[in-house]
Structure 1
Amino acid sequence: MTDKIFLDTNLWIYLYAKNPPEKYQRVEEIIKNNFSLLLVSTQVLGELFHVLTRKKFTSKPDAMAIISDIVKTFPIQAINTAEVLQALEINAKYRCQGRTK
C-alpha cells in the first residue's frame, strides 16, 4: 500500500495566491506528481478559506469556489487524535530541527 500525502495549509495558499511564484510552481509540481496520493484535511480547508479571505488573496465567493473544487477533487479526511499523534511522530522523524523563532 502506498501512503497518502497531506499538504500543509501553506502549500495550498502558495498554490492559490500564486505568490511567491517559485513556491507556486513547486507546489503545482508536487500536486501534479502526487495527485492520486493526496488527501485534504477538514482543518486545512478551514484554514485555507480563512487565510485566502482575511489576507485578501481572493474574495469570499472565489475562496468558496476554491474550497468546493478541492472537496470535489480530493478525498477529505477529518482529523482525530490518533492522526494528530501520528503526525507529531512523523514530524519528529523527518524534521527534528524545529524553528527557533
Structure 2
Amino acid sequence: MKDKAFIDTNIFVYLYSSDETTKQKQAFAVFERYECLTSMQVLHEFSNVCVKKLKMPVENIKLALDELLNAFAAVSVDDEIIKYALDLHKKYGFSYYDCVMLASALAHGCKYFISEDLTDKQVIENQLTIKNIFV
C-alpha cells in the first residue's frame, strides 16, 4: 500500500512546464510512488499559474485539470479546515494559504506534504512530513 501524500501547486506546474525537464520527471515520479491527493485551492492556484506564467491557452488548462482530477481526488476546504489552518498558522507561522493546504492534508490522513516551498523533513503535528522532492 502506498503512503498518502498531499501535492502542492508547484508540483503540478512542473508537470505542464516545458522549461524544467528534470523537475518534470521528478514530479511524475511522485504520482507513481504515493497515493496522491490535493485540494481545490491548489487547482485554483495551478490554473492561475498556467494562465499568467505558462501562458497556456484556456482549453489546454481545462484539459490539464481534467487529467489531474481523473488521476486523484481534490478535496474541498470547509469551515473546519479554515479553523484548523488558523491554528496551524498561529503555531507554526507559515502563511495562511500554506496552512490551509497543511490542514487539508492532515484532515485527510496524509503522511507527506510534497512541496518545494516549505522546509524539507519538517514534521507538522507529529503526523505530516514535508518533503521537497527537489533537494
The 8 Å contact of residues 13 and 46 in structure 2, kept in 1 or not, is answered as yes
Normalising by structure 2, report the TM-score. Answer: 0.57
Corresponding residue for residue 42 of structure 2? 44
What amino acid does structure 1 have at the position aligned with 2:82? T
1:7-86 alignment, distance < 5 Å:
7-34=7-34, 37-79=35-77, 80-81=81-82, 84=85, 85=88
Aligned-pair identity (%): 23
Aligned partners of 1:17 and 1:57 also within 8 Å: no
Give the superposition deviation at 1:18: 3.4
Cα distance change of structure 1 residues 22 and 83 upon mapping to structure 2, 3 Å threshold: farther
Deviation at 1:50, TM superposition (A): 0.7
Greater than 4 Å deviation, 4+ residue runs: 88-92
Give the 3 Å change call, closer, same or farther, for CA 18–29 of structure 1 in structure 2.
Answer: farther
Higher strand share: 2
- Structure 1 residue runs without a partner (length 5+): 96-101
TM-align CA RMSD: 2.8
Counterpart amino acid of 2:29? Answer: E
Higher helix fraction (1 or 2): 1
Q: Distance in 2 between matches of 1:15 and 1:82?
A: 31
Residue correspondences, number: 93
